[in-house]
Amino acid sequence: MKKEFESGIQEYKLGKLRKKDVNPNPIVQFEKWLDEAISKKEKDPTAMALATATPDGKLSCRIVLLRELNDKGFIFYSSYKSWKGKQIMLNHYGALNFYWARLERQVRIEGYIEKVDSNISDKFFNSRTRGRKLGAWIMLQSRKIPNREYLENLFEEQKNNFDGKEIPRPADWGGYILKPGRIEFWQGRENRLHDRIMYEKKNMRWQIHRLAP
């Protein structure tokens, strides 16, 4: 079976990106773009593709949510025993990708992933709804299960276990931060002559380059 899709691809005409216009700090530049994505009511503007790999280079990719942005990097949360958690434990390098269709933009980020301090994970966990706290206690992320009913029964068991009690953060659930070494901002342009501005960290300083489409 063969399918061709070129005829349905749109032209990108909404904006341009010039090296002289970007902020010297890519985190500040990213925050500006994220704020614009939120104001344009992008669906799930903090959703990002997270790519991780085993030490021998077998890749996995999934969508997770950006939960915090700071000067050091991009924070997300997961079970440490999930497939992504196991890969990060063995290979700390990963990549993120944000895509905002209404703005015809994407951002690619590569860097080093490590766990955040436990107090940061505790603070975020305590901000979650009770149902989401209970979900973290099921401890089965990425594992094979027989059916949906099995999962729902485990949830009810945890609900009963913590009935009338505070729900603490599980020891094997918490945050990760990706500390970037490379960040690329992509703005769609006509005729596939896209604007690509890349920040690369060298000797603890950010260098800015324009890339060919």
Q: Which residues are catalytic?
A: 192
Type of residue at 142: S
Nearest CA among 203, 213, 196 for reference residue 181: 203
Q: Give dist(CA 117, CA 104) in Å, integer.
A: 35
Residue pointed to by tokens 């209970």: 134
